[in-house]
Structure formats: structure tokens, C-alpha cells
A and B are shown apart, each in its own frame.
Chain A
Amino acid sequence: MGILLFITVLLIAACGLIYELIAGTLASYLLGDSVLQFSTIIGCYLFAMGIGSALSRYLDRGLAYRFVWIELLLGVIGGFSSALLFLAFAYTQGFQLLMYALVVVIGVLVGLEIPLLMRIVRDRYQFRDVVAHVLTFDYLGALGASLLFPILLVPYLGLVRSAMLFGIVNVAVALWGTFLFASQIASVRALRIMCVVVLCGLGIGLAEAKRITVAAEDNIYADEIIFARDTRYQQIVLTRFKDDIRLFLSSHLQFSSRDEYRYHEALVHPGLSAVPAPRRVLVLGGGDGLAVREILKYPQIESVTLVDLDPEMTHLFSTHPMLTALNQKSFSSPKVHILNADAFPWVDSNTDSFDFIVIDFPDPTNYSLGKLYTTAFYKAAARHLSAQGLMVVQSTSPMFARDSYWCIAQTLKQAGLETHPYHVYVPSFGEWGFVIASYREYQLPTTVPKGLRFLSVAGLPALFQFPPDMSPLPMPPNRLNDQVLVRAYDQDWKDISH
């Protein structure tokens, strides 16, 4: 019995420390400034343990029963703490409040554990043996946890599942306690049923949590993941490193908050500023609201229609505080109408006309996306252009995917449009390319909106100059029945990665 009892001490010590480490790590991931986060969390946690120890003196009857209950509570609260914090961060403003509350509650419960346990077993051993053994195993457990956490748990299980796993350990200890102290507990049966139910809950959590954290295990993300979800249409992942937020859709980088203004200013203004009196704008793709943010810098614009396939994407960028700060709440503007629809059938059936059309789709990595880069698609899209209308197309990199870029330009030409290719340097992407296309003549704008961080009238002509390493290549147009672009794009990136 003796050794089993002390292993219990070891396990509960490990659990307590793991919860604390998880809270500290999560706070560093999500809020940055790890020194501050770890210091305050350790401080709160130790202080709360002290409160727990102090409170233990007020418990004097049914100690074993209470001990089992404390383990159960710790299992539930600690086990779900990490998942709860992730959700709170994604959906509420109260992340920090919840985090410190959880740390304090867990700390108090952990603080109660050891004094209670010592008192439960004090009749069986010499007092000095109890203290020596309990504390020895307590510190051993802490050592084990602190080694396990960085080496095995974070890399292989992730934060959400690590918490769940140790929640299960806590509840297992509770269940074990009902056997260990059976003689000292009146309603053993009810407690055991409770333990089994909670174990099942945590078990399901552990299985389901895989879905949230599967992205985290994918080592393409250099930084910490603050949001990950598999929607019907794609995998959305947001990462953050200090003040840099990055969006990945199905593993492809969409923007970095540090330099996205370069991309979005270049995407919108060279075209839109050249439209004499723009009133109606269409955005295809662009569910992050960043292109719309730029479009709303023109007060004369009356309506912006945004068609994006994924409602979860537009919802995320309409509600998440960190993201609405980035797109300046562009989706909340009364001028903006969001439609969640598949773009090709939409442009094919809709008959509205627009003064400016932004086509900002993910790169043509497969035949499904490739349909949105075909002569058939551009013809259908161009039918929506008003007499003064211009269209701009995100066209991959003329540097890294030179064939693809010029293939897109050729496709627009083949669709009967006049094309004006240009490019911009976006540090997180490299050289990136766009094409302005229209039925009418295009001339460089003579003004751009005030307050731009990158684009200026003086700087515009340079964007339209292509140095020799990005200069035009003869490429066939991309059509639905051959999709040369998808193959070219695949080849372009293969060439670079070798």
C-alpha cells in the first residue's frame, strides 16, 4: 500500500505542475512576452496553493471523500483548461480574466491536495516519515512533469491534449482513491460512477481534441497557432509571433500582418484609383476583408459586394477582435454585402455590373481552383464590368512562378481583355504579381487615397516595369479542358524547391 500511496502523490504533483506549465505556455503563445506571462502565472499559482493549504484546516470530516472530490474537480477543470482558453481567445475578449481565474482555482485545489493527503494517512505512518515521503514524491513528480512537458507532451500531444491527458490522470487518481480509502468513504459507489463518467468525458475530449491540434502538429507553421479550424471548404489556421499574425488557408500563406498592407494596397489602388467615378465594387475571394478595407478608402463608393465561398472565413474576419482590428472592421460597413457562394456559378448567373472587380483567389494549386483562372471564368467575370470598369487579378509570383504568372496574363488576353501586368515586393511572399484587365484603355492614376503606407503616385510606374528575370514568357492560355496553369504552377514550385 505504501508505495502505491506515494505514487499517487507523485502523479498529483505532476498534474498540478502540468496545468501551470500549460497556462504559462498558452499565455506566452497568445499574448507574447513569455517572461511576464510565466512570472505572473507562477506567482498566482503558488499564491493560490498557499490559499488552498490555508483552507485545508477548515476541512475536518470526510477527508478521504473530499480528497477524491478535489481530484475529480482538478481532472475536469485542469483537463479542459487548455481547450477552454483556446476557445476563449478565439471567441471572447475575456481570455486573460479566464486564464488567471483558472490558474487560481487550480492552484487552490492543488494546495488542498497534499495537506489533506497527509492528514488522511497520518495514522498509518510516523509523522516524520509522512512528511519526508510525501514531499519527496511531490518534488519527484514535479521533476518528471517539468521534463515530460517540453520533451514529449508539447511536441507530440500539443497543449489541448496534454491537459486532457493529465485530467484523466487526476480522475484516475480519484477513482484509485475510492479503492485506497474505501473504508473511510461512505458512498463509494456514487463516487466511482462519477469518476467513470468524467473519465469518459475526458476520453472523448482527448479523441476530439486531435481535430483542433492536428494543424499544430504540422510543422509548416513556424509560429504558434492561435486559431485552427477545418471548415467544409478549407483549413483555416492563424498563427502569431509577437505582433505578426499570419493566415494560412489549407497550408498556404495568405498574409502576414506585418506586410499585408503592401499586398493589399498594390492589389486595389493602381486599378481603383484609375476608375473615374467608382460607385460599385465586386470582390471575389478576399474573405479576410483586407482588400475591402482598402476599397472603403474611397468615400464615393456606394457598395462593395464580396463573394467568398467559406462563411466561417467571413464570420471569423467579421468577429475576431484581433482580425477586425487588422481589417478595420471593414465587414461591418453598411456598404459591404457579403455573399457566401461559389464564385464561378455566381458570376455566371448574376447580372449586376461593377466599376471595379477584385479577383483575389488562392493560388491555382489544383484543378478545382484552376477553374477560377480560365478564359471561361474571366469572360464570365468581365461581363460584369461597367463601361468605365477595370478588373484586377491576383496572379501568383512573376519571380517564383514565372510561367504561371504569364500564363494568367495570357489567359486574360485570350478572354478578350487588355492587360496591364505589374508586381510588388511583399517581404513575406517575395515578388508578387497582379494583372489589371479591362475592355477599355488603362492609364496610371494621378492620385491615390491619402494615408497609404506603401503606394504613391510617384512609385506607381516602377511597379509596371519587369526586370529581365521576371519578364514575359510565351505561355498558352489556361482553359477548362487543359488547365495548363495548374501544371505550370506545380512545376514552377517544384523547380524552386529543388
Chain B
Amino acid sequence: MKLRTSRRKFLWSASAALVGLSIKGDRPIAGSFVNDSFQMGHQLRDRSKFPQPKQIVKRAVVIVGGGIAGLSAAWRLHKLGFTDFILLEMNDQPGGNSRWGENEITAYPWAAHYVPVPGPKAVYVRELFEELGVLNNGQWEERYLCFTPQERLFLYGKWQDGIEPAIGLTASDRDQFRRLEDQIQAFRATGKFTVPMELGISLSTANLDQISFREWLHSQQMDSRILNWYMNYCCRDDYGATTGDTSAWAGIQYFASREPEEKGPLTWPEGNGWIVRRLLERVGSFVHTNQMVYRISQREKRVSILAGDTEYQAEFLIFAAPSFLAPYLIEGMAPLHDFEYSPWLTANLTLEHFPDSYGGDPTWDNVLMESPTLGYVDATHQSLRSHVERTVWTFYWALAEAPPSENRHLLLNKDWNYWKEAVLDDLERVHPDIRKCVSRIDIMRMGHAMARPKVGAIFSAERRNLAQAQGRILFANSDLSGFSIFEEAQYRGVNAADRVLGQVAR
């Protein structure tokens, strides 16, 4: 029986070959994990032995961490004419959550891929964007605003414009969306939800930090399945957590801190990597990569920082790396309890062509309702070209559904093939022919990708104390705001630089 099947198969292939057809199989897909930094992190956690320093380098200021916070601190120092500093980055590529990649088709993001059009309070963001030509005489540069069509959502077997569900709503769904909008509008009007959050935060809203966003929605009689899906999606997207794991304050902040009808967002093929590139053009010469700091000791008149075979001696240290690392590095620092992070996975898929099942006009952000992932963003969407054949999709997956430690374990222990299949299986929900289009999938695993604003995180005394720390070590990571977004990171970085400049001998 078996023999007969294979012979028939053979004959079929042979005759197919004869008429010049080859049996079309799925494309072989290459790829690997990229930018892994688990090992370095675990060395720190396990307090491995590090070499003795062979040289001493003295700088007035040392910045640890080359993400947006650290680079923004450097940008600020440099812009104010201060150059006696150095920035130490653990990875071989600076940028942190704004790192990017590039292949022969396009540049593409590895994580953060946009900045909402900043409001009037985000003065440092606006200043930077004016410097970079993103904001010219009050006008946002057209080619950096997300091209149309921006977003779409797949639900009930079809695509709709925009991510907020608009089709198949019941009267009750509509009513709840409307009531939520009114509530958000009222919160917005209080001026207590701002970007950066530090400028508006008020104790009068602290009660919202004591319950989860899910509980708050429930308390407002907002039980619509569709509304809750959308809120959950927003929390997963911005915080990597479900509404149940997000502080109601943070859930409200997501909406109330921004104007409802802002055009944008601002985006680039490589996402916020574009901003990193521009920052590196300015301060790149101060940035030292592959410098894993493993010991920080505070002396009376200086800070000693050990990295590789070098001891850096500085008057001030700006700690811009994720704050949870600090207790592992800084001698005598007590452990932190209020800082939790969401694990993420991003995949960059190289497509040889768009799937036939694409459906509609090429869109920037593509979200699937029936999926635990966040969907995918098209890196060539901001291309000026009229004709795009090959492209890169950045696929985002915040592992929000189980405790972070469990998901970190999963991230670490499953191989590339497992995650590749998971990504493709998810996309097959809407693009059954996706395997015929994809030639490569690179995957980046981040165990501690984004600060998670769990219940109590925003008004945590620990967080506030770290943010306001006096002395020779200043903290600057966006997690001091309770959540990781570009504007918070930049604000914290600039703020730390300003506080250092107020004290440092020039």
C-alpha cells in the first residue's frame, strides 16, 4: 500500500515535471534569534566573576545605558556645551527599545516604532523634533507623519479601517464606548494626565492606582466584550499587560494624556530607530558599546564604575538602564519590589511579495482581533516609492497572558523554530498563504522589555524615591514613570542631565 502511494506520487511528480510544472511547496524560511542579551543579564543576576580593571578613565559624568533615556541625557549635556562625559552601553548596538535593523529592502524597527504627535507639554520632545526637522515652524513634516492608510483591524472575517472596533457593535456597545469617551474627556480636562506624566500627576487621582483597569471598567458598568477587547488591546500594546494587570490610572493615562483627534503618529521605516540614528549623529562619539557595567560603588567624592577591564571614575552617574538592574550593580542598594517588566517578542519577517490574501490597500499597522499578539507593522509603508514588491513586517507579541516570570521562561526555553511557527500560525488566521511569501524571520526576545504599570506602580513610594534620588547617582530610565514610552524616557534623561549640570563642577 505504502509502495503504491509513493509510486503514484512519483509518477505524478514525474509527469508534472514533464509538463514543466514543479509542485509548489512552501518557501524555505531562514532566520534566527537576534540581539539576545539574556546571557549578560544572567551573569549580573548570578554575580559571576568579572575581570580586575587594568585602567582608570576619569569623566565628570558617566551615563549607563544607551537607550532613549541615556541618549537623551547625552543629547542634553552636549547641547548645553558639556562634553566631559561618556555613555556605556551593554549591547553592541545602542538604542535600547528603539533599536532597528536593516536589510537590502528597508530599515525596520526592533521595538518602538512610533511617537504620537507630541502635545504642548512635551517641550523636550518638541525641541528635539524641531532640531531634527520633524517640526518646522509649527508644521509637522509630512513625510514623517504616518502615511495613509494608517491602521486596520481584522474582525468577523473582514478588515475595517482603524483599530477601534466600528462594525458589529450593539446599541449597548455603542453606549459604553460613548460613556467611556465622556469619562476620558473629563479626566483629560482635569489636566492631571499628561505627557510627561510627572507634570500632571496628582495625589487626587491616587485611588485610580489602587485598582486594576479591568476592575475600574467593571465598576463603571462597562462590560461590553468589544470594549473590553479594545481596552485590553491598548494595554497590551502600550504596557505589555492585560487590563487586569494594569493600574486603572495607567489605563486612563493611555487615553486621557493625548488629544483624541491628533493626526499622525510620527513614524519612520526603522521606527524610533530613526531618532536614535539622529541622536547618534550628534553624540555617537561619546557612546561606548559592548561595555557591560558590573559594579558601581559610591565613594565620598566620586562614583566608581567597573566595565570590562576599565574602572571609570566620575563625579556623577546617570543610571539610564532599566532600574531593576540597579540593585545588582550598585553596592549596598536594597532590592526593588515595585518594578515589574513585561516580556516581549518581536519578529521581523522578510516578504518576497505581499500575500494574495492581503486584502485592501497596504496599511501601516495591521491588528487581528482574534489573536493574542499585537499584529504587524509594514516597514515600507513610509517609503516614498510608488512601487513596492518586497517588504518587511515587524510582528509584535507582548506575552501578557501569564505571569511575566513564566513567559520569560517560555521565551528562553523554546527554540527559534517554535516561535517562528507560532508567528506564522498567528498570521495564517488572516493570510493563509503567508508561508508562500516569507523568506526570513528574525526574532528578538526581550525578557524585560517594558515597565509594567501594575496596580500601585504609579504612586509607588519606591518609584518616587528613585526618581528623586539625590547624590552622585541619578536615575533616568522611563520605568521611573511606571511605563515605557519614548516621551517619558526622553523626559527622564533630559531631566537627569539638567540635575547633574546644576551640581557638576564645570
A residues near B, CB below 8 A?
200, 203-204, 232-233, 309, 342-345, 348, 366-369, 371-372, 374-377, 479-483
Contact between chains at B386 and A369 (CB < 8 Å): yes
User: B384 — which chain A residues lie within 8 A by C-beta?
Assistant: 342, 344-345, 348, 371, 376-377
User: B264 — which chain A residues lie within 8 A by C-beta?
Assistant: 481
Contact between chains at A368 and B142 (CB < 8 Å): no
CB distance from B6 to the nearest CB of A (A): 24
Q: Restricting to B180-218, which residues have a CB under 8 Å from any CB of A?
A: none
Q: Is B20 an interface residue (CB 8 A)?
A: yes
User: B387 — which chain A residues lie within 8 A by C-beta?
Assistant: 232-233, 309, 342, 368
User: A369 — which chain B residues lie within 8 A by C-beta?
Assistant: 386
If A309-B387, A480-B142, A481-B263 are given as contacts, then 6 extra A-B residue pairs at C-beta distance below 8 Å, sorted by A number, are A232-B387, A232-B389, A342-B386, A345-B384, A479-B142, A480-B143
User: B146 — which chain A residues lie within 8 A by C-beta?
Assistant: 481
Contact between chains at A371 and B20 (CB < 8 Å): no
User: A309 — which chain B residues lie within 8 A by C-beta?
Assistant: 386-387
CB distance from A274 to the nearest CB of B (A): 29
Most buried by B among A345, A479, A480, A481: A481
Q: Is B145 an interface residue (CB 8 A)?
A: yes
User: B361 — which chain A residues lie within 8 A by C-beta?
Assistant: 366-367
CB distance from A414 to the nearest CB of B (A): 10
Contact of B142 among A204, A344, A345, A375 (CB under 8 A): A375
Q: Which residue of B has the minimal Cβ distance to A345?
A: B384
Q: Restricting to B5-57, which residues have a CB under 8 Å from any CB of A?
A: 18-20
Q: Is B506 an interface residue (CB 8 A)?
A: no
Cβ-Cβ contact count across A and B, 8 Å cutoff: 63
Cβ contacts B213-231/A at 8 Å (1 or 0 each) = 0000000000000000000
CB distance from B91 to the nearest CB of A (A): 31
Contact between chains at B386 and A481 (CB < 8 Å): no
Cβ contacts B252-264/A at 8 Å (1 or 0 each) = 0000000000011
- Contacts A203-B19, A204-B20, A481-B263 given; indicate if A344 touches B386 (C-beta within 8 A): yes
Q: Restricting to B223-279, which residues have a CB under 8 Å from any CB of A?
A: 263-264
Cβ contacts B136-151/A at 8 Å (1 or 0 each) = 0000001101111110
4 residue pairs, one from A and one from B, having the closest CB atoms: A344-B384, A481-B145, A376-B142, A342-B385
Q: Is B362 an interface residue (CB 8 A)?
A: yes
Contact of A480 among B18, B148, B388 (CB under 8 A): B148
User: A343 — which chain B residues lie within 8 A by C-beta?
Assistant: 386
User: B18 — which chain A residues lie within 8 A by C-beta?
Assistant: 200
Contact of A371 among B19, B145, B147, B389 (CB under 8 A): B147
User: A367 — which chain B residues lie within 8 A by C-beta?
Assistant: 147-149, 361-362
List 13 A–B pairs whose Cβ atoms lie within 8 Å, in order of A's numbering: A200-B19, A200-B20, A342-B384, A343-B386, A344-B386, A348-B384, A367-B148, A376-B143, A376-B384, A377-B384, A480-B143, A481-B263, A482-B148
Interchain CA distance A368-B362 in the complex, whole Å: 9
User: A204 — which chain B residues lie within 8 A by C-beta?
Assistant: 19-20
User: A375 — which chain B residues lie within 8 A by C-beta?
Assistant: 142
Contact between chains at B19 and A374 (CB < 8 Å): no
Interchain CA distance A376-B140 in the complex, whole Å: 12
Interchain CA distance A343-B145 in the complex, whole Å: 20
Contact between chains at A480 and B145 (CB < 8 Å): yes
User: B19 — which chain A residues lie within 8 A by C-beta?
Assistant: 200, 203-204
CB distance from B451 to the nearest CB of A (A): 30
Contact between chains at B148 and A344 (CB < 8 Å): no
- Contacts A367-B362, A482-B148 given; indicate if A374 touches B142 (C-beta within 8 A): yes
CB distance from A479 to the nearest CB of B (A): 5
- B contact face: mostly helix, strand, loop, or mixed: loop
Interchain CA distance A326-B19 in the complex, whole Å: 42
B residues near A, CB below 8 A?
18-20, 142-143, 145-150, 263-264, 361-362, 383-389
Contact between chains at B386 and A482 (CB < 8 Å): no
- Contacts A204-B19, A204-B20, A376-B142 given; indicate if A483 touches B385 (C-beta within 8 A): no
Q: Which residue of B has the minimal Cβ distance to A376?
A: B142
Interchain CA distance A368-B385 in the complex, whole Å: 8
Contact between chains at B148 and A481 (CB < 8 Å): yes
User: B145 — which chain A residues lie within 8 A by C-beta?
Assistant: 479-481
User: A374 — which chain B residues lie within 8 A by C-beta?
Assistant: 142
User: A348 — which chain B residues lie within 8 A by C-beta?
Assistant: 384
CB distance from B144 to the nearest CB of A (A): 9
Contact of B386 among A368, A479, A483 (CB under 8 A): A368
- Contacts A203-B19, A481-B147, A482-B148 given; indicate if A372 touches B386 (C-beta within 8 A): yes
Interchain CA distance A348-B142 in the complex, whole Å: 14
Contact between chains at A480 and B147 (CB < 8 Å): yes
Q: Which residue of A has the minimal Cβ distance to B145?
A: A481
Interchain CA distance A369-B146 in the complex, whole Å: 17
User: A203 — which chain B residues lie within 8 A by C-beta?
Assistant: 19
Q: Which residue of A has the minimal Cβ distance to B143?
A: A376
Q: Which residue of B has the minimal Cβ distance to A200?
A: B19
Q: Which residue of A has the minimal Cβ distance to B146?
A: A481
User: B20 — which chain A residues lie within 8 A by C-beta?
Assistant: 200, 204
Interchain CA distance A343-B388 in the complex, whole Å: 13
Q: Which residue of B has the minimal Cβ distance to A208?
A: B20
Interchain CA distance A371-B385 in the complex, whole Å: 8
Contact between chains at A345 and B385 (CB < 8 Å): yes
User: A200 — which chain B residues lie within 8 A by C-beta?
Assistant: 18-20
CB distance from A327 to the nearest CB of B (A): 23
User: A344 — which chain B residues lie within 8 A by C-beta?
Assistant: 384-386
User: A368 — which chain B residues lie within 8 A by C-beta?
Assistant: 362, 386-388
User: B150 — which chain A residues lie within 8 A by C-beta?
Assistant: 481
Interchain CA distance A377-B385 in the complex, whole Å: 11
CB distance from A491 to the nearest CB of B (A): 15
User: B388 — which chain A residues lie within 8 A by C-beta?
Assistant: 368
Most buried by A among B19, B145, B361, B386: B386
User: A345 — which chain B residues lie within 8 A by C-beta?
Assistant: 383-385
Interchain CA distance A496-B389 in the complex, whole Å: 33
Interchain CA distance A378-B386 in the complex, whole Å: 15
Interchain CA distance A368-B391 in the complex, whole Å: 15
CB distance from B390 to the nearest CB of A (A): 12
Interchain CA distance A363-B21 in the complex, whole Å: 38
Most buried by A among B18, B142, B362, B384: B384
- Contacts A204-B19, A344-B385 given; indicate if A483 touches B148 (C-beta within 8 A): yes
